[in-house]
Structure 1
Amino acid sequence: MNHGSLWERLVRGVRWSWIDERYRSALPADFDAMVMTLESRDRLHAKQGRSTARVVFHPPDQNQSGGRPLSVYLKRHFQMPWLARFSALVHPNGRYSPGAAEWAHLERARSLGVPVPDVVAIGERIGPWAGLQSYLVVAELTGCKELNEALPVIEQSMDREAFESLKRRIVKEMARISATIHKARMFHKDLYLCHFFLDLERLARDPRDVALTLIDLHRLQEHRYWPDRWRWKDLGQLLFSTEGVAGVSPRDALRFWVHYKREAGVRNPEWQARMIRLKAARYSDHNAASEPGAAERLSEPVGSAD
Structure 2
Amino acid sequence: MSALFLNSSFSDLFSDSDPFDTLWAMEGEVHRDVKGRVTKQFTHQGQSYFVKLHSGVGWLEIIKNLLQLRLPILGARNEWQAVARLQELGIDTMTVVAYGEDGWNPARRRSFVVTEDLSNTRSLEDVCADWPRQGVGFSSKKALIEKLAKISRVLHQDGICHRDYYICHFLMDQSPEENQKVSLIDLHRALIKDNLSERWIIKDVSGLYFSAMDIGLTRRDLFRFMKVYSGQELRQCLKTDITFWRAVDKRARAMYKKLSGRA
Alpha-carbon contact 1:116-1:213 (below 8 Å) kept? yes
Alpha-carbon contact 2:102-2:110 (below 8 Å) kept? yes
Q: Deviations over 1:189-229 (max 9, x none)?
A: 1110111111111xx1x2x2121111111121134556211
Q: Tell me, in whole angstroms, the C-alpha distance in 1 between the residues paired with 2:211 and 2:89.
A: 25
Which residue is 1:134 aligned to?
111
Q: Which amino acid aligns with 1:76?
A: L
Equivalent residue for 1:244, pick from 187, 199, 214? 214
Q: Tell me, in whole angstroms, the C-alpha distance in 2 between the residues paired with 1:55 and 1:179.
A: 34
Aligned in 2, Cα 1:288/1:84: closer, same or farther, shift over 3 Å? closer
Aligned in 2, Cα 1:191/1:26: closer, same or farther, shift over 3 Å? farther
Q: Tell me, in whole angstroms, the C-alpha distance in 2 between the residues paired with 1:276 and 1:129.
A: 34
Equivalent residue for 2:80, pick from 103, 121, 124? 103
Q: Which amino acid aligns with 2:87?
A: R
RMSD: 3.1
Q: Tell me, in whole angstroms, the C-alpha distance in 2 between the residues paired with 1:224 and 1:40.
A: 40
Which residue is 2:241 aligned to?
269
Equivalent residue for 2:92, pick from 112, 115, 120? 115
Q: How does 1:55-204 map to 2 (within 5 A)?
A: 55-57=42-44, 59=45, 69-82=46-59, 97-126=74-103, 131-153=108-130, 163-201=137-175, 204=176
Please state whether the residue corresponding to 2:122 is helix, strand or coil: strand
1:24 and 2:1 correspond: no
Alpha-carbon contact 1:26-1:70 (below 8 Å) kept? no
Q: 1:15: Cα distance to partner? A: 4.1
Q: Which amino acid aligns with 1:237?
A: G
Q: Tell me, in whole angstroms, the C-alpha distance in 1 between the residues paired with 2:257 and 2:97.
A: 39
Aligned in 2, Cα 1:101/1:242: closer, same or farther, shift over 3 Å? same
Q: 1:155: Cα distance to partner? A: 7.8
Which residue is 1:37 aligned to?
24
Please state whether the residue corresponding to 1:24 is helix, strand or coil: coil
Q: Tell me, in whole angstroms, the C-alpha distance in 1 between the residues paired with 2:101 and 2:132.
A: 44
Which residue is 2:66 aligned to?
none
Aligned in 2, Cα 1:226/1:113: closer, same or farther, shift over 3 Å? closer
Q: Tell me, in whole angstroms, the C-alpha distance in 2 between the residues paired with 1:17 and 1:209.
A: 36
Which residue is 1:303 aligned to?
none
Alpha-carbon contact 1:186-1:223 (below 8 Å) kept? yes
TM-score w.r.t. the length of structure 1 is 0.71
Please state whether the residue corresponding to 2:38 is helix, strand or coil: strand
Structure with more helix by fraction: 1
Q: 1:70: Cα distance to partner? A: 1.4
Q: Tell me, in whole angstroms, the C-alpha distance in 2 between the residues paired with 1:190 and 1:128.
A: 27
Between 222-231 and 190-199, report the one with greater CA deviation: 222-231
TM-score w.r.t. the length of structure 2 is 0.81
Name the larger-Rg structure.
Answer: 1
Q: Which amino acid aligns with 2:10?
A: R
Please state whether the residue corresponding to 2:101 is helix, strand or coil: strand
Where does the alignment leave 5 or more consecutive residues of structure 2 unmatched?
Answer: 63-72
Q: Deviations over 1:51-82 (max 9, x none)?
A: 1111122x2xxxxxxxxx21111101112344
Q: Tell me, in whole angstroms, the C-alpha distance in 1 between the residues paired with 2:179 and 2:133.
A: 19
Aligned length: 247
Where does the alignment leave 5 or more consecutive residues of structure 1 unmatched?
Answer: 1-13, 60-68, 86-95, 295-306
Alpha-carbon contact 1:125-1:131 (below 8 Å) kept? no
Alpha-carbon contact 1:146-1:197 (below 8 Å) kept? yes
Which residue is 1:54 aligned to?
41
